[in-house]
Amino acid sequence: DTGVSQDPRHKITKRGQNVTFRCDPISEHNRLYWYRQTLGQGPEFLTYFQNEAQLEKSRLLSDRFSAERPKGSFSTLEIQRTEQGDSAMYLCASSLVERNEQFFGPGTRLTVL
Amino acid sequence: AQTVTQSQPEMSVQEAETVTLSCTYDTSENNYYLFWYKQPPSRQMILVIRQEAYKQQNATENRFSVNFQKAAKSFSLKISDSQLGDTAMYFCAFMKPVLTGGGNKLTFGTGTQLKVEL
């Protein structure tokens, strides 16, 4: 399968714990995006990378959130000191710079108890 | 900032019938892209159709077509010959392209849950 993959698919954690999600984009895609989707809402942009450079971060991305794409391939999104309000589906997407179509992964569903 | 509005939270249609999903958006940009994405119960988002704002011709993809009214900032999706597999959440999305400093990030509406019934 050469699509976007995300791991884990589901994560349940207790409030205050740290969690890390991984996204593997389509191999030749140089852009990678993170979105957050809460129940009944459309996805909201969090941040994006072009190769290894993080080019934009949303105001939704508080100081507890950090994302990396160290070698320009896979990316990680870490949430420190999780809060119940962080419960959501975290979606990753990738694209080529010269193309406007984003391909989405299956998402990681986070539940903070 | 751009906003996307989908005023129909839920819709239903009989199999083989035609349904139209509405979307309006607000932007001061002249060059942009509009998309319809489908999110089936399995949750993976799939691109349905794309429209470039500079093209007057409405995009079509098999049973899916759009009615793009740039002046009215309206972008509706028509699904013809509806099939059970079309049951999903449909999201309208706006993109300001890279060349105009947009970064290609998507701004989504709140979605329309479409149910296709026998």
For A70-96, what is each residue's pLDDT tens digit? 988 999 999 999 999 999 999 999 998
Closest CA to A75 of A97, A95, A61, A92: A92
What distance in Å separates the CA atoms of residue B39 and residue B43, rounded to the nearest whole number? 5
Has residue B100 got a pLDDT over 70? no
Contacts of B110 in chain A (CB under 8 A): 40-42
- For A63-96, give the DSSP string: TTEEEE-TTSS-EEEEESS--GGG-EEEEEEEE-
pLDDT score of B96 more than 80: yes
Instruction: Quote the percentage of chain A above a pLDDT of 70.
Output: 99
* Mean pLDDT, chain A, integer: 93
Q: Chain A residue closest to B4 (CA)?
A: A42
Cβ-Cβ contacts under 8 Å for A98 (sequence gap 6 or more): none
Tokens 């349940």 -> residue:
A12
Contacts of A61 (CB under 8 A, 6+ apart): A46, A47, A67
d(CA A105, CA A54): 19
* Contact predicate A107/A37, CB 8 Å: yes
pLDDT on residue B99? 67
| Chain B residues touching chain A at CB-CB below 8 Å | 4, 33, 37, 42-47, 50, 91, 93, 95, 97-98, 103-111
| Chain A with chain B: Cβ pairs closer than 8 A | 57
**What pLDDT score was predicted for residue B44?**
87
Do A100 and B97 lie within an 8 Å CB cutoff? yes
Are B43 and A89 inside 8 Å of each other by CB? yes
* Chain A hits for B98, Cβ within 8 Å: 97
Who's near A39: CB < 8 A, 6+ residues apart? Answer: none
Query: What's the rounded mean pLDDT across residues A12-23?
Result: 98
Please give the average per-residue pLDDT across A84-109, as a whole number: 92
- Write out pLDDT tens, residues B102-117: 678 899 999 999 999 9
B76-93 pLDDT per residue, tens = 999 999 999 999 999 999
Q: Which residues of A touch B46 (CB under 8 A)?
A: 104
